[in-house]
């Protein structure tokens, strides 16, 4: 049995919800590895899936399908990124009001156990300085404390394509020194504790402290509260830690997404090499193709 990651590479709930449900009904999905192009088939049959972990900034389009997904025998949870950034950084991410409506609906229909909040990724600019983040994070803690008790955060990792996009769109961005990251993270941890929220650092172990734990985004311990059978519990115990990058603490999962297929257009995004290309790819993906990769249309 395996955990499905849906997905680090794109926002499946926001842009591919109907495609995903089509693949659930088919019982499998084809994936093309972004590292070498190898193709393989991943089972989506309930007896083969421990749980589905959705990564999203807008679960709204998937809401109407969740009862069907559960009725089909699947367990699921959400890593829900909520940053409350201005439009010039996150052009097409839904506003805070819409996000809170969806979060409230998720928790009321299922439980707080299905939701973990991501404050990710932290970007620093002339206007979005440490004090801005401290104030913004406090407002979001106030909003989200009734719905979740966990927050995973990270600072932006500046890959080559990230730097290119940021230089074009956010020329005043800056890469903080570790001491500044520690100070900001420590202030966030104090705020989080005030609201009963635990804070975990994703892929930055230098920020782990007595107030900040090491994050495991694909986390067997957390998933124990989501799964619904002894078989799935036993399968969780067999999962090995399989890092996707330095300091990553994630357990093994099968990611079914594809890069350059997310429509949010975030300036800092590592999963889109170019927002225009991603928008074009979105228009090429058909509902009944068995693979989300834009060049794999049937």
| pTM, 2 dp | 0.96
Residues of the chain with confidence (pLDDT) below 50: 298
Closest to 150 measured CA to CA, from 100, 115, 105, 102: 115
- How far is it, in rounded angstroms, from Cα 191 to Cα 134? 8
- How far is it, in rounded angstroms, from Cα 57 to Cα 63? 13
- How far is it, in rounded angstroms, from Cα 80 to Cα 54? 8
Q: Residue 192: helix, strand or coil by DSSP?
A: helix
Quick one: pLDDT at residue 296?
Answer: 64
Q: Hey, what are 135's tokens? A: 């104030």
Q: Hey, what are 131's tokens? A: 């004090």
Cross-strand pairs, 116: 79
Q: Residue 28: helix, strand or coil by DSSP?
A: strand
**CATH of region 2-284, choose from 3.40.50.300, 3.80.30.30, 3.40.50.740, 3.60.20.10:** 3.80.30.30
Domain spans of the chain, in order of start = 2-284
Closest to 35 measured CA to CA, from 228, 297, 262, 259: 259
266 and 90 in contact (C-beta within 8 Å)? yes
Q: Hey, what are 220's tokens? A: 């067997």
- How far is it, in rounded angstroms, from Cα 9 to Cα 19? 15
223 and 51 in contact (C-beta within 8 Å)? yes
Quick one: pLDDT at residue 283?
Answer: 87
CB atoms near residue 92 (< 10 Å): 15
């Amino acid at each position: 049995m395996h955990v499905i990651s849906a997905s680090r590479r794109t926002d499946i709930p926001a842009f591919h919800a109907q495609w995903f449900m089509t693949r659930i009904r088919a019982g499998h999905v084809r994936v093309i590895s972004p590292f070498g192009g190898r193709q393989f088939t991943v089972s989506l049959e309930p007896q083969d899936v421990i749980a589905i972990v959705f990564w999203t900034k807008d679960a709204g389009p998937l809401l109407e399908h969740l009862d069907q997904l559960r009725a089909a025998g699947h367990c699921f949870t959400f890593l829900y990124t909520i940053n409350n950034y201005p439009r010039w950084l996150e052009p097409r991410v839904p506003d805070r009001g819409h996000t809170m409506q969806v979060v409230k609906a998720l928790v009321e229909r299922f439980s707080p156990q299905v939701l973990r909040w991501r404050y990710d990724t932290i970007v620093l600019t002339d206007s979005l300085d440490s004090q801005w983040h401290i104030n913004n994070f406090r407002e979001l803690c106030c909003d989200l404390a009734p719905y979740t008790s966990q927050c995973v955060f990270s600072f932006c990792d500046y890959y080559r394509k990230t730097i290119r996009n940021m230089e074009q769109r956010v020329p005043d961005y800056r890469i903080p020194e570790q001491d500044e990251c520690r100070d900001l993270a420590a202030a966030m941890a104090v705020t989080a504790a005030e609201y009963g929220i635990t804070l975990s650092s994703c892929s930055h172990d230098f920020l782990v402290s007595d107030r900040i734990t090491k994050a495991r985004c694909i986390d067997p311990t957390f998933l124990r509260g989501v799964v619904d059978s002894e078989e799935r519990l036993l399968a969780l115990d067999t999962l090995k830690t399989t890092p996707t990058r330095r300091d990553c603490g994630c357990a093994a999962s099968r990611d079914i997404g594809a890069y350059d297929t997310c429509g949010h257009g975030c300036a800092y995004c590592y999963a889109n090499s170019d927002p225009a290309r991603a928008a074009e790819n979105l228009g090429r993906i058909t509902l009944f193709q068995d693979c989300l990769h834009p060049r794999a249309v049937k």
